[in-house]
């Protein structure tokens, strides 16, 4: 019997920044047909592709099948997967960005920061499978069409609000490779809160200290004590919202951060470069959840208020 040839998975990435480009390149290596929506660097990416520098996986040029200014330009039918990797900031309507390329069988994948970010997309596309994904990676944009991968790259993904279907597992298989583990989670929303314990604390502190790196944050005992207390507040909010987390993750995060080379958070890099910061999804949603669940969060409230002052300054 002749074995049938499986067609390539057709994937459209909306948001060809550092994270979208890195994972897009991995998907191409696995044989997927990968296109990107790339507005600000359209001409450069169309002409030269995306140059990805990595001492871990080697340097490569990612040449998308289609380079588009908008999702409406996508050709050849609808994609099997539409990956959204744009920053979730004020003024960005994610539903509008992707609507023209979402077909009846398109699975929507969110590789984005923050907690409580899925409901908006789920409401806009109730008939489509929604996959939520968390990237544990250090990668940054170093220039037009240039990406540098520093370390890590693991992903956790699962269906929203829970479960992990066949298409989610297929995508995990496509993204898996030597040095990168893709973990499929039946409770991906809880996994988001897990990651938030680190993100909601280190990101705002790094900005409020004037773009501090992780080693500087943890250098004085007072810094460690503050980080620990703020992380405990995130854990209490998560538990009140129905996502119990083990207290031991605080020491795991602090010890792991100390062992890693010093680096600046994504929010600190945005702050330094005058870009919009993901304040609301990384910290604001935690604060609002704490208020909703009547959890005392004095440290998180203070961090949020101070960040909003900096944001208002422009």
pLDDT per residue as tens digits for the range 18-40: 999 999 999 999 999 999 999 88
The pairing of strands 60-62 and 50-54 is: antiparallel
CA 188 to chain centre: 13
For residue 141, name the pLDDT band (cuts at 50, 70, 90): confident
Q: Give the HSE-up count for residue 187: Cα atoms under 13 Å, Cβ half-sphere.
A: 9
What confidence score (pLDDT) does residue 248 get?
97
Class of residue 64 by CB neighbours under 10 A (exposed 0-12, middle 13-18, buried 19+) = buried
Cα–Cα dist 276/264, whole Å: 16
Start-to-end C-alpha separation, the chain:
66
Q: What is the mean pLDDT of the chain?
A: 94
Q: Does domain 191-313 have CATH number 1.10.1040.10?
A: yes
Cα–Cα dist 207/279, whole Å: 11
Region 10-22: mean pLDDT is: 94
Domain boundaries, the chain: 10-186, 191-313
For tokens 């269906």, the residue is: 159
Region 289-300: mean pLDDT is: 98
pLDDT per residue as tens digits for the range 37-59: 998 889 999 999 999 999 888 99
Residue 2 has pLDDT above 70, yes or no: no
Q: Which fold has domain 10-186?
A: Rossmann fold (3.40.50)
Q: Give the HSE-up count for residue 158: Cα atoms under 13 Å, Cβ half-sphere.
A: 16
**DSSP β-bridge partners for residue 117:** none
Q: Is 177 helix (H, G, I), strand (E, B) or coil?
A: strand
3-class secondary structure per residue, 231-261: HHHHHHHHHHCCCCCCCCHHHHHHHHHHHCC
Which 8-state DSSP code applies to residue 77? S
> What's the whole-model pTM score?
0.92
For tokens 């539903």, the residue is: 95
| Residue of 194, 196, 200, 164 lying closest to 182 (CA atoms) | 164
Cα–Cα dist 58/240, whole Å: 44
Cα–Cα dist 218/241, whole Å: 29
Residue 67 has pLDDT above 80, yes or no: yes
């Amino acid at each position: 019997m002749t074995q049938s040839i499986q067609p390539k998975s057709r994937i459209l990435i909306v948001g060809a920044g550092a994270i979208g480009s890195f994972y897009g390149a991995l998907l191409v290596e696995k044989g997927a047909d990968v296109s990107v929506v790339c507005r600000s660097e359209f001409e450069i990416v169309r002409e030269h592709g995306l140059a990805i520098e990595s001492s871990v996986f080697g340097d490569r040029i990612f040449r998308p099948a289609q380079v588009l200014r908008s999702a409406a330009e996508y050709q050849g039918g609808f994609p099997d997967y539409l990956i959204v990797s744009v920053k979730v900031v004020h003024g960005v309507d994610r539903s509008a960005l992707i609507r023209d390329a979402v077909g009846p069988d398109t699975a929507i994948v969110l590789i984005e920061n923050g907690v409580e970010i899925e409901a908006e997309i789920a409401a806009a596309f109730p008939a489509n499978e929604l996959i939520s994904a968390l990237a544990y990676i250090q990668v940054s944009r170093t220039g037009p069409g240039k990406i540098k991968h520093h370390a890590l790259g693991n992903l956790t993904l699962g269906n929203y609000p829970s479960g992990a279907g066949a298409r989610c597992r297929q995508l995990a298989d496509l993204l898996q490779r030597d040095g990168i583990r893709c973990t499929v989670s039946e409770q991906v929303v809880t996994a988001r809160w897990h990651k938030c314990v680190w993100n909601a604390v280190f990101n705002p502190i790094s900005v409020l200290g004037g773009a501090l790196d992780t080693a500087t944050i943890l250098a004085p005992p007072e810094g460690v004590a503050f980080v620990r207390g703020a992380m405990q507040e995130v854990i209490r909010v998560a538990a009140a919202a129905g996502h119990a987390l083990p207290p031991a993750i605080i020491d795991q995060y602090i010890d792991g951060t100390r062992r890693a080379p010093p680096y600046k958070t994504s929010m600190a890099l945005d702050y330094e470069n005058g870009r919009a910061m993901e304040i609301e999804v990384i910290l604001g949603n935690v604060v609002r959840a704490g208020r909703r669940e009547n959890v005392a969060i004095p440290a998180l409230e203070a961090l949020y208020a101070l960040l909003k002052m900096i944001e208002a300054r422009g």
